[in-house]
Each structure stands twice: as structure tokens, then as C-alpha cells.
Structure 1
Amino acid sequence: MSQDQTRSGRGGVARPAALIGALGIVYGDIGTSPLYAFKEAVRAASAGAPPTPIAVTGAVSLILWALILIVSVKYAVLILRADNRGEGGIVALLALLGARHAKPGSWSGVLLVVGLVGAALLYGDGAITPAISVLSAVEGLKVDAPGLSRFVVPITLAILVALFLVQSKGVAFIGRIFGPVMLAWFVVLALMGLGGILHAPQILGAVNPLRALEFLLHAGWHVSFAMLGAAFLAVTGGEAMYADLGHFGAGPIRLSWFGLVLPALVIHYFGQGALLLAEPDALENPFYRLAPDWAHYPLIGLATLATVIASQAIISGAFSLTQQSIQLGFLPPVRVVHTARHERGQIYVPVVNWLLAAATVSAVLIFETSDALAGAYGIAVASLMAITTLLAALVALKWGYNLVLVLAVNGFFLAIDLVFLGANSVKLVEGGWFPLLLAGLVAFLMLTWRKGTCLVEEARVHLRQPEAAFLDQLRRDPPLTLPGNAAFLTSATSGVPLHLSRFVERSHALPKRILIVTALYEEEPVVPREGRAEIVPITPDITRVILRYGFMENASVPEGLACAVEAGKLPGECLKDLTFFIGHETIIPKSDARGMADWREGLFAFLLRNAERTGAHFCIPTRQLVEVGTEIEI
């Protein structure tokens, strides 16, 4: 499952800045897993009893081989090859498979539903990750000062609320310290681990995968499943490798992982295991007990900063996912604020920020401890990893790879994903319902929006006048000619926009020159400026302009028209005294129509009313904009 390096254009030598940047953005989540993952794995393996050497060694071995197989081999070696012109993530996979235009009931339609569920799972993960990461860091206060236990939740909430409050300012100022702080974090993890290993070097026997297999086979299915589910926490965050592919490229991501992150994590987990072999009573918090007493408070500060960085990466990822989903028509347009003028990807989505803040704060208040949150964490990520493996296999087949090879390789990793998913499914009652509930709500909204937009377009097709009929009408009943130029926005690449027909019908007039403009999002990240505009002449005074944008871009219609003029495809006078006309559609649910249930059509109408205005979404100046109302029944 690979793709030619020239597809991504990112096969060059990794720059130091990209390597350092990848540490903060890509590995913040998985890098803070040692705060809670090993503790939960050993606790599950011990089933409430003091940890035994075989349970400790088995847990270390299981985490080691999970990091090797799932993160190193599956993601770093294989999945990173499935790029869409340099971009990764679940939306990129859907674009590669062409599922965006799938018809309901078809295999492509099923893939689209599966992919949208995978995208929605990222929002569930995004609500849990900041909560468990920051909470587990602040819980270090209880090691030296148990009396501070009652302040852990308030301090965590204060940090999280402050984090969400600063999102509107942009994260450039935080971003500058992301990499260096995480570099220091991974160095500290490795040093802590080395100190632990020196006290109990027998832990190195956990390199043998038979240690994990032996424990799992003899512990009983209930304990084994619980341990598998807890150990999976050590690999959550590995999916960020693929999601952030477009920011850094495969080279820096792989080099950072194999050169620093993986060795530091492995050494640290072995160090925690060695500590428990020597001091079984350290299970309450082996991460902080691994450090010398004098370093506890500085370590709490560093851990809190690292978890804030991990949380920031998750929040920024949710913003990017929302933007991509809007561009591809999976979510209604919402306000997207660009916080850095000269840096792509630095965005702020207010509605997502505050919904995610509410979900994260709710998670802290509901579960209160990282131990309780561990029960809610993992099931969404395990589901997403299984979906990613399945879609990546289909992409490999689409690219012409050998069927037997794809089934063998992806089938092996899918089996591993399903084992971990099954192990995490036992957490459903403990708290796994929380991220799944959030993901289910988001997936339902996505599917409702997509179905509703398809129904609206079907209705438009029947109402939209063919070009020939419109031109014949103009010849039979010539309208008055108004001074100036007009651009009528439409979602279709043929026919006459409803608001253009309505304008002529009500005013019996037409502007001197007319542009019928369609903005399309392609299933690729970026469309070059020279390929932005396609011109289709209709009459000497009426021209169709089709503008194409990538799903990582903003569709600015004025910018697209300027590109057409620069390329000599449109005369410059077309943009002088230009008025933009858009249709303002009112959706009327129709009970006897084929489509969605009445209440679901009402939900779609609500989403449409509260979506960002078309003019704002396409960056059209308000002073040049005129809306023409239309009622559409679905």
C-alpha cells in the first residue's frame, strides 16, 4: 500500500525545523501517554491485587509490541504512503476513494458512511484527550501532597478553560514553543526510564513478545481483555501521524518517530516496569514515582505544559477536520477565522471550539480522575484505526496492488485493530459511551446535512431552467439592459441559476454582462492558480465560469475571478462595477416527498438557517452582494 513519492512531493531531506515541529504537533498525544497508559495496563493485569512480576513484564512487552506493530509498521511504514497529493487523514482517504459523490445504497455509499463515522470519531477523541492528559499531569500533586487532591479537578478545569479561551488569538505564539518543549519532554522521559532500568535490568526480558503472549493466555479472558484495552492507551495518538501528514511530510514524521519518540517511549515504559518490579507499591503513580523526589514539582510543570501542547494539537486537528468536511460538503458552512495571514492551516472555528470545550469540561466533571477517564478513552481511537486500515486497503487495491498482498498485510493489521477494539468495547459501560455518543451525534449531523443537500440539489434540477429555454425566452421577450456587470453564483455547472431566472421574471431586466459562477471543491488538497478557472462562453454577454479549489483551501470567488483575468481567460472589464447575486433558499419540509423523515428535514432546515451565509463563505464583499429569495420543498 504505497504511492510514488512524487505524488506527495515531500520525499526530500527532512529539515530540522520540520523535525522539531513534528515533535509538538504530531507526537504530543502519544508522547503524554506514559502519564497513565502503563499504570492502567498493570492495574488491569493485576485485577486489583499487588502487581506480580509476570503481569508487569507482560504489560511492558505488550506495550512495546503494540508500539512496533501499530504505530511503527502500520502507520509510519504503510499508512503514510496513502497520501492524497501530500495530505493525509480520514477525509483524504475518502477523497482518494471518490466516495464524496457516492449514491445512497451503493458500495461507495457504504464506504462514505463508514468514513464519516471515522471522521466523527475524531471529535469524540478530541473531547477525551485534553481531559485525560491534563488531569493525569495535575494528579502528580497527589504524590507529594495528598491533601491537594481536592484541587486537582478545579486546576484541570482552569487550565482547559484558559486553553480554549486563547484559541481565538491563534496558536502561533504557543506553536513556537511546541517543538522545543516536547524535545525536552522526550529527553526527560528517556532519562527517567534509564534510571529505572538500572535498578531492575531484568525488565529487559520484556523485549521477548512471548512474555506478553504467555501472560494473556494464562490470565483468563476477562483480565486479558482488560489489559489489552488498557495497554492500547499507549498507542492512542499514533493516528496523528497520518492526520498531520500534510503539515510536515512523511520524512520528518518518520525520522522524528524512529530517531527520538519511539526510543524515548520504549525506554520510559521499560523504566516504569523496572520500578514496579522493585517497588510494587508504586503502582498508584509510577510515572512520578520514577523521578527523584526533588524533581516532582518541576516534572509536574513540564508534564502540564506537554499535555497542554497535546491538547492544542487535538483542538487544531478538530478545526482542520471541520474545514475539510465543510469543503467536501459533509458539514454545513460555519465561520472559519484565519489567525495567521501568511500561514496555511492556522485557523479558528468558534462553534467547534466551544462545543469541544463543553464536551471536554463535561468529561472532567463526569469522570473526575484519569483512572475513570481511562475507561472512556480508547474505544473511539480503536474504531478509527480499524476504519483507517480498511479504507487504506481499498485505496491500495484502487492503485493496482496485488489483491493477495493487500489482504495479507491489511488483513493482519485489521485483525490486530479488531482485537484491540474488542478489548476496548468492554469499557462501554465504564465510560466508552461518552466519546461514542459524541461521535454518533456528529456522524448523524454529517449524514443529515449530506442527504439534505442532495435532496435540495434534486429539487433545484427540476426547477432550474435549461440554457436553451432561457436564451429562447430572452429572444422572444428581450429584457431591459442595465448598466454594470453581474455574477450569479450557482452550485451547478449547467442550466440557469434559479435566482437568475427569478431576477429576469420579476424585473424584466438583465445587467449588461453576466457571469454564471460555480465554485467546486476538488478531491485534492490544493488546486494551482493556473488551473483555478474554466471559462464556458454561452453568449457574447453571458459567460459561465467554473472555479476549482482544493479541500484544504478557501473558495474565494473574487480571488478566483481575478485568477481568470490574470490568465487572460476573462477581460478585466468584467470585474468592474461587479454585483454578486446569490440565492437565499428557504427549505420547506414536505411530508409526502421521498427523502428524509419530517423531523430530520426540519433538522436540516435548522442547520441551513444557522450555517454561514453563502456570501461570507465565498469571501464576497457585503457591499457588492444581493440575495434573491427562493423556496424549495424537499
Structure 2
Amino acid sequence: MARKPGAVRHGPGPALMLGALGVVYGDIGTSPLYAFKEAVKAATAGGAAVPAAALGAVSLILWSLILIVSLKYAVLILRADNRGEGGIVAMLALLGARQARPGTWKAVLLVIGLVGAALLYGDGAITPAISVLSAIEGLKVDAPVLTPFVVPITLVILVALFAVQHKGVAVIGRVFGPVMLIWFVVLVLLAIPSILRAPEILGAVNPWRAVDFLAHAGWHVSFMMLGAAFLAVTGGEAMYADLGHFGAPAIRVAWFGLVLPALLIHYCGQGALLMADPSAIENPFYLLAPEWAHYPLVALATMATVIASQAVISGVYSLTQQSIQLGFMPTMRVVHTDQDERGQIYVPAVNWLLAAGTLTAVVVFESSDALAGAYGIAVSALMGITTLLAALIALRWGYNPILVFAANGFFLAIDALFFAANSVKLFEGGWFPLVLAAAVAFLMLTWMKGNHVLEAVRETMRQPEATFLARLASHPPVTLPGTAAFLTAATEGIPMALGRLVERSRCLHERILLITVIYEEAPVIPAEERAQVTLVAQGIRKAISKYTPGMERVVLRYGFMQTASIPEGLQCAVKSGLLPPEYLEDLTYFVGHEVVIPSARPGMALWRQGLFAFMKRNAERTGAHFCLPTRQIVEVGTEIEI
């Protein structure tokens, strides 16, 4: 899939590549802490000798990295960008699934996409837990007496990590890249001596080693081994999710130039160690290092896993913001921790819910071995969904269907195989991220369904412009000085807040703005294209000229990666000459405060209506969401039965 016109282009500069090391490759870069160990343990469960299992596991991991991460993500998926942005939400926007009508194939696609997005929340809870826990477990190598303290130390680190999120990661982020650069160099340095002692491990480059081992191991052992080996590619999905921050060139150069070679060499090093010393299976990563380096390596591994965890947490924040903008989630408080960086955000509600999930995972599973059973199933499902959506995007862009089905079908088959293998671990912990993902997906679908029902009721309550103007003419209101801005979700009809204000107070400001904010399917809308201003109806100035000089409808357009600010949007309208400057003088914002009342109306189950009403009550206030000055807001309450 070639890049489409209008896509954002990033050059592969050194700064971007260094940043990509810390943000994009933190997760997959720390997989050597546990992935190879789990793959060999799974392989030996059927009675295979450790050296043979090590050779088969290394071969399987190497070719998984080549096929899934290198070919599928780096070569194929990165091309399916939405004007430079990546990720599941960007894909859904690109396919236009947000406005899907119930019962259509796009509606099914929307559900699949939302499930994929929800899986990232499950992954976001597991990744920090298994990463940090596996790093701290290195203490047990030289000091088994510290074993009881591994979980408490992990919990302290994770609590501290989530507790400092509100401060932002701008300063810490500057060291992410250099630390991960050191990490990948250390991975190579640890492996080379081991490979020189057992060079026969290089035979793992032959994919037949993996195929032959799996073919003779029995289906159960093979599936367990595939599921464990998949841990080595978890984190590869970050390539696409972080596409907008670094661009495809920097991500590809960092991967093929450093990360992939370092991982291939390191996994060969761990395999060579087990071929020479099968007893090292308990922790081959740390046993690669000389004894004097164990504690420094624990410290470096802890820093690397914290970086990997931070990257995942920041990714969840970004996903949440995009989902809110596109209407998949209720509005929440989003704090910009760095005014100069669009992606530096903090979502308090998500932060502490994610913290609860992560800490629960550590307490419940207690070790990286146990957590390995919970890890992988969510990511494998997400990768399959990404492959499917990428195929649909390619078809939408007009690519040869035969080539699309051949390429994406091949990778989808691999995704399905790994998902099936990870499903074997469903009752060993795989249920944990799936339960989290199912809960998030259900809340997303409930929010969207509830808003659909709510908007249908609103439409019956809004007055048509002609009716409203006729009432103004027959019952002239008292004229108030200044400008009144009424927020409305619709681009037609009179906002309920305006109708109620005139009905109850018999007054109307001399200048009226009807403001609608629309989030487009594109990630960013330029400021010069922000505002569109039209008359509410033809001849409206004449109809109400003796009461008010004008009533304008203002539509403000934002991308799903942007934060909507109505004051900023109105300034854009003034700068573009669409509104006179005096409209922003003495401005009062009238915001509807809707209280949703569940009812027995068809369209949504009563208990689900109650859940939607609860979400609506606890959503961020409209004024705060659109950055309105609190001293200029007047809320007009309305009860709505849905």
C-alpha cells in the first residue's frame, strides 16, 4: 500500500530514531527478559532435551520477528496511515466506520475495531506488570533470600510510576532513547561471548529448525511453544500505534538498523547458553552476564521496563483521547502536561483504573512465569484485527484485490495460528486481559448506543428554525446586550437551551451564535479550515432585525488527534473574517446540562439505559471539555427520557 496524498512525512533524523527506541521499542526490547525462557520451558514440557528445545525456540522466535514485525508491520501495516497517524482508531476513522448504520457491514466492522481498541487496555494493564516483575526477578539469581520481596518491590515501583504520571514525561522522556540505546547495545554484548562458545546456535537461522521441532513435539506442546514464543513479538504493534509521533522512515530505520539485529543476536545468545548449560533455563537472560554484572543489569533492566511501561501507558492515554474525540467514550478530563507537545497528555481516570488493573495482575499472578499465561492473547487478537482492517483499507484505496488477499491472507493466517496458540492459555491467565477488554468494549458500545438513542430524542425536542423565528415575531423578547453562544450537537434546528431560555426568561441577546463542534475522520484540521459560519436561515436578519442584529451558526472542525477549544475556534473565525470581532465581546456561553432518565422506551434495555445515564452523569462537563472560561458559562438544565 503506497502512502496516500496528504500524509504527514517525517524524515528519519537521528533525534526521531533515538526517540523511537524509547517509545516504540521499549516493550518489544524488554521481551528477552521472559520470552525465550517461557518458549524453552514450553518446548521441554513434552520431554525434549533443553539444547534441542533451545534451538527450536530460537528459530521460532527469529522467524516470528521477521515475519510479523519486520514484514507485516514495518513493510505492510505502516503504509496504512491516516494522514500520518496510525492505530486502530485511525483505521476506523479512515474506513468511515464511526457513522455506520446498525445492521450494516460497517457496523460489524465498528464493533470489531472497538474490540481491538479495547484489547489495548488489557495489554496496557499486563505489560507494566510482566515487564517490571521480570526485571526485579533478577534479584533471585544471586540472592534467593530476596524472593519474598520481589512482588512488594515491583508494586512499589509500579505505584510510583502511576503516581508521577500527572507530572508528565517530558523531562524523563528525553532519556528514554539513550537508555534504550544502551539497553540494546548491552543485549548484543551479553550474547556475543555465548554465541562464540556454541556457534551451532546459528543454525536457528534456518526456519526448518522451528518447523521440524513443532512437527515432532505434538500439538499441545507446539501450541504452548507458539504461545510462549509470541511473547517475543508483543510490542511490535507499537510501530503502528506510534506512527504519528515518529513517522514510518524513523521507525523502520531504527528497527532494521538496530533493534532487529540486537534482538536476533541476543536470542541466539540465550539459545547458545542453554545449549552449553541446560541448567541456565531458570533465567537465561541474567545468567548470560558475569556475576559482577548481575546487579547493574537488574538496575538497567528495571529502567528499561519502566520505559516500556511508560510507553504503553502513554499509548493508552492517546487511545483514550482519540476515542473520546470520535464519540467512542464519554468525555473525561485530559490534562496536557506539556503545552508544546500535542501528545504529552495525562488522563486521571484512566491512569488509576489502569494502575488498579496492573497492580491486581501482579498480586494475583505473583511471577512473570504466571503472567506469561495472561500475556499474548490480547495482543494476538489485536494483531489479527489490525491485519483485517489494513486489508479493507487497501481495498478502499483501490489496490489489486488478489495481491491484498494474498498478502493480508498470509499474515492473517499467521495471526490466527498465534491466537489459537495463545487461547490454550485462556484458563491459565489469558482470561484476565480479555475480561478487561470485554468490559471496556461493552462500555464503549453502550456509550455509542446511548448517544444514538439520546440524539434521536433530542431531535424530537428541538424546534425547527422557522417555528422559532415565527414565535420571536409573534412574541418579541426583551433584548439583552452582548453575545450569547449556545452549544449544540446538531447543525440544524434550535438548541434546546436556547428554546428554554427564551421560553422561560422572555429575553434574547442582541447577538446569537449556535456553535457545533465536529471531530473529523482526519487526525488534524488546520486552523485556517477550522470554522464555517452561516446564517441560521435565509432572511433571518430581516425576520429578527428589530430584536437582534444577527444569529449565526458556527461549525468548528477538529481532527481526532486535536483538543477542541471553542474560544480558539471562534478566534479562528474572526481571523478568517467570518465573524466580526465584536461578537467575542461580552460573550456568554449557554451550555445544556442534560439529565438522562431511563424509561421503558424501546431501543435499549432498561438496565443498559441506567448504565449510560451513570456514564453521562460522571462524564466531564461540556464547558471544561471545550475549554470554556468558567466565569462565562451558564448551564441550562433539561431532563430527557430515553
**1:308-344 deviation line (CA, Å, top 9, x unaligned):** 0000001100110000000000000011111001111
Aligned-partner Cα distance in 2 for 1:343–1:142: 41
- Unmatched runs of 5 consecutive residues or more in structure 2: 542-549
Paired residue secondary structure (2:164): helix
> What residue number does 1:626 align with?
634
Deviation at 1:50, TM superposition (A): 6.9
Find the residue that maps to 1:607 and give its secondary structure.
helix
Instruction: Tell me what 1:606 maps to.
Output: 614
How many angstroms apart in 1 are the aligned matches of 2:194 and 2:251?
28
The CA distance in 2 between the partners of 1:59 and 1:337, in whole Å, is 44
Q: Give the counterpart letter for 2:577 in structure 1.
A: G
Rounded Cα–Cα distance in structure 1 between residues aligned with 2:280 and 2:356: 34
* Structure 2 counterpart of 1:394: 392
CA distances 1:484-537 after superposition (whole Å, capped 9, x unpaired): 110000000111101111111111111001000001100111100000000111
Q: Deviation of residue 54 (structure 1)?
A: 2.3
**Aligned partners of 1:318 and 1:504: how far apart in 2?**
43
**Shift, 1:2, TM fit:** 3.0
- Residues in 2 aligned to 1:182 and 1:458: alpha-carbon distance in whole angstroms: 51
Once the 2 structures are TM-superposed, how far is the Cα of residue 176 of structure 1 from its aligned partner? 1.1
Identify the residue that residue 332 of structure 1 maps to in structure 2. Answer: 330
Q: Secondary structure at the match of 2:483?
A: strand
CA distance in 2, matches of 1:102, 1:494: 20
* Aligned match of 2:360: 362
Partners of 1:43 and 1:51 within 8 A in 2: no
Question: What is the deviation of 1:590?
Answer: 1.1
CA distance in 1, matches of 2:36, 2:49: 12
CA shift, 1:26, in A, is 0.2
1:544 aligns with 2:553: yes
Question: Tell me, which stretches of 5 or more residues in structure 1 are unaligned?
Answer: none
**What fraction of aligned residue pairs are identical, expressed as a percent?**
72
CA distance in structure 2 between the aligned counterparts of 1:2 and 1:46, rounded to whole angstroms: 44
Whole-angstrom CA distance in 1 between matches of 2:296 and 2:500? 68
Deviation at 1:49, TM superposition (A): 4.7
Q: Distance in 2 between matches of 1:314 and 1:385?
A: 16
Shift of 1:377: 0.2
Residue identity opposite 1:204 in structure 2: L
Q: Distance in 2 between matches of 1:110 and 1:154?
A: 44
User: Which of 488, 491, 502 is the equivalent residue of 1:490?
Assistant: 488
CA distance in 2, matches of 1:88, 1:468: 44
Which aligned pairs between 1:169-188 and structure 2 lie closer than 5 A?
169-188=167-186
CA deviations 1:389-435 (Å, max 9, x no partner) are 00110000000011111110000000000000000000000000000
2:420 is the alignment partner of 1:430: no
Structure 2 CA distance, aligned partners of 1:510 and 1:590? 34
In 2, Cα distance between equivalents of 1:174 and 1:162: 14
Aligned pair partner of 2:571 in 562, 566, 584: 562
1:149 aligned residue (147, 150, 159): 147
Q: Which AA in structure 2 matches 1:606?
A: F
Question: Separation in 2 of the partners of 1:286 and 1:55?
Answer: 14
Equivalent position amino acid for 1:420 in 2 = F
Q: Number of aligned pairs?
A: 631
**Aligned AA for 1:239?**
E
SS, match of residue 99 in structure 1: coil
Q: Which amino acid letter does the alignment assign opposite residue 8 of structure 2?
A: G
**1:62 counterpart residue number:** 60
Deviation digits for residues 340-368 of structure 1, max 9, x if unmatched? 01111100100000000110000000000
Structure 2 residue aligned with 1:78, among 76, 79, 101?
A: 76
The correspondence for 1:507, drawn from 505, 508, 516, is 505
Structure 2 counterpart of 1:553: 562
User: More displaced, 515-524 or 535-544?
Assistant: 535-544
* Structure 1 residue aligned with 2:3: 3
Matched-pair contact (CA < 8 Å) for 2:46–2:221:
no
| RMSD between superposed Cα atoms in Å | 0.9
Correspondent of 1:21 among 15, 19, 24: 19
Partners of 2:11 and 2:247 within 8 A in 1: no
> How do 1:306-317 residues align onto structure 2 when only pairs under 5 Å count?
306-317=304-315
Query: How much has 1:53 moved relative to structure 2?
Result: 2.6
Equivalent residue, structure 2, for 1:456: 454
Q: What TM-score, normalized to structure 2?
A: 0.97
Q: Which of 561, 586, 604 is the equivalent residue of 1:577?
A: 586
2:120–2:378: 8 Å Cα contact kept in structure 1? yes
**Which residue number in structure 2 is paired with residue 403 of structure 1?**
401
Q: C-alpha deviations, 1:205-247, integer Å up to 9, x for none? A: 0000000000111110000000000000000000000000000
Residue 8 of structure 1: how far off its partner (Å): 1.9
Deviation per CA, 1:164-219, whole angstroms, max 9, x where unpaired?
Answer: 01001111121011000000000000111112110100000000000000011111
Which position in structure 1 is the counterpart of 2:515? Answer: 517
3-state DSSP of counterpart to 1:101 = coil
The 5-angstrom pairing of residues 173-252 of structure 1 reads 173-252=171-250
CA distance in structure 2 between the partners assigned to 1:174 and 1:387 by the alignment:
33
What secondary structure, in the 3-state scheme, does the structure 1 residue paired with 2:417 have? Answer: helix
C-alpha deviation, 1:9, in angstroms: 2.5
SS of match in other structure, 1:482: strand
Return the letter of the residue paired with 1:161.
V
Matches within 5 A, 1:525-536: 525-536=523-534
Instruction: State the SS of the aligned residue for 2:236.
Output: coil
Residue 300 (structure 1) aligned to one of 298, 301, 306: 298
Counterpart-to-counterpart distance in 2, 1:619 and 1:52: 61
Of 407, 417, 432, the match for 1:419: 417
